[in-house]
Amino acid sequence: MEAPNYSVLPIIDLEYNPSPAGDRLLLNSPCEVCGDHSSGKHYGNYACDGCAAFFKRSIRLDRHYVCKRGNPGACPIDKVLQNQCRACRLRKCFEVGMKQEAVHPSLSIADVDQLLALKWLPSLTDIVLP
């Protein structure tokens, strides 16, 4: 899941090496949320960078999602479908035991901006205000 470096002209970078810093990833500890490769434990459980960042953002911004499909329990969450339903992705983060207490608050300007903007999000997204 390591992405190529787009800042390098791809047509020239034919010698693209799929594991530049890929030794960061663990072979036998997949993400407990989506099954992708993890780079270790995050907030209590093995998680990929994506799920870890997603969990952090959700907690920081106090986001509550609603499953658009109305799935009571869970839309399937795997490395293919992972971004399809944020509500169920976050629920699964909690289900596998990721701990929100492990996410420390932050007071960066960017976060404040996002919190402010949050109040003006269109009402049709999957985000519900606290």
Site of interaction with a copy of itself (CB under 8 A): 1, 3-4, 6, 9-11, 16, 68-69, 79-81, 84-85, 116-117, 119-120, 122, 124
Looking up tokens 């608050």, which residue turns up?
A: 105
How far, in whole angstroms, is CA 30 from its chain's centroid? Answer: 14
The whole-angstrom separation of Cα 112 and Cα 25 is 32
The whole-angstrom separation of Cα 56 and Cα 92 is 14
3-state secondary structure of 46: strand
User: ∠122-82-120 over CA atoms, to 5°?
Assistant: 15
Q: Which does 11 bind (CB under 5 to 8 A by kind): DNA, a copy of itself, Zn ion, none?
A: a copy of itself
Site for DNA in 68-107 (CB under 7 A): 82-83, 86, 102-104, 106
The whole-angstrom separation of Cα 16 and Cα 45 is 31
Query: Is the CB of residue 78 less than 8 Å from the CB of residue 35?
Result: yes
Site for DNA in 3-62 (CB under 7 A): 3, 5-7, 20-22, 24, 36, 39-44, 48-54, 56-57, 61
Comparing CB distances to DNA, the nearer of 70 and 124 is 124
Comparing CB distances to DNA, the nearer of 27 and 72 is 27
Query: Is the CB of residue 36 less than 8 Å from the CB of residue 45?
Result: no
Q: How far is the CB of 81 from Zn ion (least distance, A)?
A: 10
Binding residues for DNA, per CB under 7 A?
1-3, 5-7, 20-22, 24, 36, 39-44, 48-54, 56-57, 61, 82-83, 86, 102-104, 106, 108, 110, 113-114, 117, 121-122, 127
